[in-house]
Amino acid sequence: MYPQNDITQENNNGIRIDEPDNILVCDGLVKIYKTDDVEVLALQGLELEIKRGELVAIIGKSGSGKSTLLNMIGGLEKPTAGRLYVDGHDLFAMNEKGLVEYRRKSVGFVWQNSGQNLFPYFTALQNVEAPLYFDRMSQKERREKAMSLLKMIGIDHRAQSYPAQMSGGEQQRVAIAVALAHDPQILLADEPTGAVDSKTSNMIQDIFRRINEETGITIIIVTHDLSLANKVSRVIMISDGKISTEKIMKEKYREQLDNMTTESLAQVESHEEYSILDKAGRVQLSQDTLEMAGIESNKVRVEVKDGKIIISK
């Protein structure tokens, strides 16, 4: 369908896939799950670009395609159509061997359920060491690296504990250290704070923000937690397998972020909301927006007035 091997050029739709700043490019990404009798269109031509070093939150209702997107970025599933480039790799064209290598080197995963992240019969330290067994490292180097990661996350006092001896929040912090062990370019977290209380959730969010600032690693977090979204410079909303709107943090708010409490944060308008205009000129309007404008029919008037586009009944 698409010409292959043109990674250094502009593709059919004009997205620069060789843009050096972009660590992720999704271009018309489609994912169809086929079960015995039904086909589920989990992603419907999703467009997304993420720059190296960004910290991005993805929010959306259950079933909107968030996990599907993360699983494809993580090389766990293949798209049905479209293009997906991560860290210079064409994931659509990659064979199984390439994908295994990619998963081992380029991405780190943190799941919601900490049981999925950690080996129950390993201590915290052993869990962080585990991904390093494939690297050419002495036992001492492995231990030192694992320990320094636990220190960075502030959980080194639990190095000798087993998962069952730790709280949910502690387990998730160890899981973050595990995900970072092989120095991935991109860290993917699927509802990492879904199973912890709000105080712990806050602490985990701050860890993501800090490691993003300190190491420059690109982080994509899927979350239900709107307070997390308020602390992230870019919030992407998915509905029906497509990106509907994006919120970009106001510069002024970003400057104040470190000096504000959670309570005062909630009272400031942190982000500006943008709708996504796709390359075919389509804009998705939310049901709320349509209701507020009293639009019920599937036909609308579109006019340009004073440099603005007005959509009305």
**Collapsing DSSP states into helix, strand and coil, what is residue 271?**
strand
Min CB(191)–ligand ADP separation in Å: 8
Q: How far apart are CA 184 and CA 173, in angstroms?
A: 17
Min CB(63)–Mg ion separation in Å: 8
Q: How far apart are CA 16 and CA 12, in angstroms?
A: 10
Min CB(237)–ligand ADP separation in Å: 11
Question: Which residue, 66 or 234, is less far from Mg ion as judged by CB?
Answer: 66
Question: Which residue, 150 or 232, is less far from ligand ADP as judged by CB?
Answer: 232
Question: Which residue, 156 or 240, is less far from ligand ADP as judged by CB?
Answer: 240
When CB distances to Mg ion are compared, the closest residue is 67
Q: 106 contacts which partner out of ligand ADP, Mg ion, none, CB within 5 to 8 A by kind?
A: none
Q: Which residues bind Mg ion (CB under 5 A)?
A: 66-67
Tell me 139's DSSP state.
H
Output the DSSP codes for 41-90: EEEEEEEEEEETT-EEEEE--TTSSHHHHHHHHTTSS--SEEEEEETTEE
Q: Which residues bind ligand ADP (CB under 6 A)?
A: 33, 35, 40, 42, 60, 62-68
Q: 64 contacts which partner out of Mg ion, ligand ADP, none, CB within 5 to 8 A by kind?
A: ligand ADP
Q: 297 contacts which partner out of ligand ADP, Mg ion, none, CB within 5 to 8 A by kind?
A: none
Question: Which residue, 113 or 126, is less far from Mg ion as judged by CB?
Answer: 113
Question: Which residue, 66 or 271, is less far from Mg ion as judged by CB?
Answer: 66
Q: 79 contacts which partner out of ligand ADP, Mg ion, none, CB within 5 to 8 A by kind?
A: none
Question: Which residue, 28 or 60, is less far from ligand ADP as judged by CB?
Answer: 60
Whether 173 contacts 153, CB under 8 Å: yes
Q: Which strand (E) or helix (H) includes residue 110? A: strand 107-110
**Collapsing DSSP states into helix, strand and coil, what is residue 169?**
helix
| Token code pair at residue 26 | 């999704």
Output the DSSP codes for 183-250: --SEEEEESTTTTS-HHHHHHHHHHHHHHHHHH--EEEEE-S-HHHHHTSSEEEEEETTEEEEEEEE-
Min CB(66)–Mg ion separation in Å: 5
Min CB(298)–ligand ADP separation in Å: 23
Min CB(58)–ligand ADP separation in Å: 9
Q: 40 contacts which partner out of ligand ADP, Mg ion, none, CB within 5 to 8 A by kind?
A: ligand ADP
Q: How far apart are CA 138 and CA 183, in angstroms?
A: 17
